[in-house]
Amino acid sequence: MQGRIIRGVGGFYYLDNGKAVYECRARGVFRKNGEKPLVGDLAEFSVIDEAEKTGNVDRILERRNQIVRPALANVDRIFLCFSASVPAPNYDMLNRYLALSMLDEIPLSLVVTKSELVSEEERQEISDAFRAAPFPLLFVSVFAGTGLDALREAMRGQVNALAGPSGAGKSTLLNALKSEEVMAVGDLSRKIARGKNTTRHSELFRISEDSWLFDTPGFTAVDIEGLTDVPPEQMFPEFEPYLQDCRFHGCRHLKEPGCAIRAAVKAGELSKVRYRSYVRITEALADIRRY
């Protein structure tokens, strides 16, 4: 029998075969081969007790892709969620995540939650922050019920992943998309203005007949060590068309004269917010290399 792993907790893997969910253990051969089933994997499993819906995971089918953190498999698109307000967007953290996500070569969209809390002018400022970046941007409000149909359509026929900082409202959004309370929703900490990280493990939910959605634990920081040898055009792909116009080969796009990237930022062709994040990431990577 075949199914998709929708959750993995405490050594148990829960497989959905389209009719029921089975609680399974992975056979010893996985440990012997240093292989671990991941949420999102398609797998063959054998049933031990049909009444109790228990079984064993026998074999993992070939993965189309894999994300290390959080550990997911077979993702068609990542939807990076962040709040328009409460908490306010942390652009440096978001851009760090986006830079790392480019390494996975998985299409990515931006979802701005709690959009009812900000004005049209503030929404425009958020849009301007990602000007020229190759990420579709959607504004949604669960409270007002706006943007949800467009988001469902963007997720249709795919295995999607929700990611984002704590407090972004991912679990609230998942509940709205699935139209039932599938995840507990945490209160927002008034002291630190971020979520209590309701989601503690990655889990995959069927949100329509042909659409799936991962909910993943929220993050409060992004480790960029994996970017130490990555060129800027791979971290910030909107830079790529300008690189050939820099005066000097090997331009770092920081203080060098004749830098086409800096000129494009000054002209408003590239986002100042994205460029500032690039500078901070570049400086942070230089410190990592130094030590």
pLDDT tens across 184-194, in order?
444 333 333 43
Model confidence pLDDT, tens digit, residues 76-133: 999 999 999 999 999 999 999 999 998 888 999 999 999 999 999 999 999 999 999 9
What's the Cα-to-Cα distance from 108 to each of 115, 140, 170, 212, rounded to whole Å? 20, 16, 16, 15
**pTM across the whole model:** 0.86
Quickly name the fold that domain 225-290 has. Answer: Ribonucleotide Reductase Protein R1; domain 1 (1.10.40)
In this predicted model, which residue has the larger pLDDT, 69 or 161? 161
Q: What is the pLDDT of residue 29?
A: 84
Residues with Cβ within 8 Å of 125's Cβ and at least 6 positions away in sequence, in order, are none
CATH superfamily of 67-215: P-loop containing nucleotide triphosphate hydrolases (3.40.50.300)
Overall average pLDDT of the 264-271 stretch: 97
Are 12 and 44 in contact, with CB atoms under 8 Å apart?
Answer: no
Query: In this structure, what DSSP letter does residue 18 have?
Result: S
Overall average pLDDT of the 19-28 stretch: 94
Overall average pLDDT of the 198-212 stretch: 80
Model confidence pLDDT, tens digit, residues 130-158: 999 999 999 999 999 999 999 999 999 99
> How far out from the chain centre does Cα 34 lie?
26
The stretches of 77-225 forming alpha helices (DSSP H) are: 91-104, 120-129, 148-155, 170-178
How much of the chain, in percent, has pLDDT values that exceed 90? Answer: 67
Whether the upstream peptide bond of residue 217 has omega within 30° of 0, thus cis, is: no
- Cα–Cα distance, 43 to 24 (Å, whole number): 11
What would the two tokens of residue 240 be?
């790529």
pLDDT, the chain, mean:
89
- Cα–Cα distance, 281 to 224 (Å, whole number): 8
Model confidence pLDDT, tens digit, residues 242-258: 999 999 998 999 999 99
The residue ranges of every structural domain in the chain are 2-63, 67-215, 225-290
The CATH class given to the 2-63 domain equals: mainly beta
**Taking 50 as the threshold, does the pLDDT of residue 182 lie above it?**
no
End-to-end CA distance of the chain: 51
67-215 and 225-290 have identical folds = no
Are 114 and 139 in contact, with CB atoms under 8 Å apart?
Answer: no
The pLDDT confidence band at residue 178, using thresholds 50, 70 and 90, is confident
Q: Tell me which residue has tokens 């019920």.
A: 145
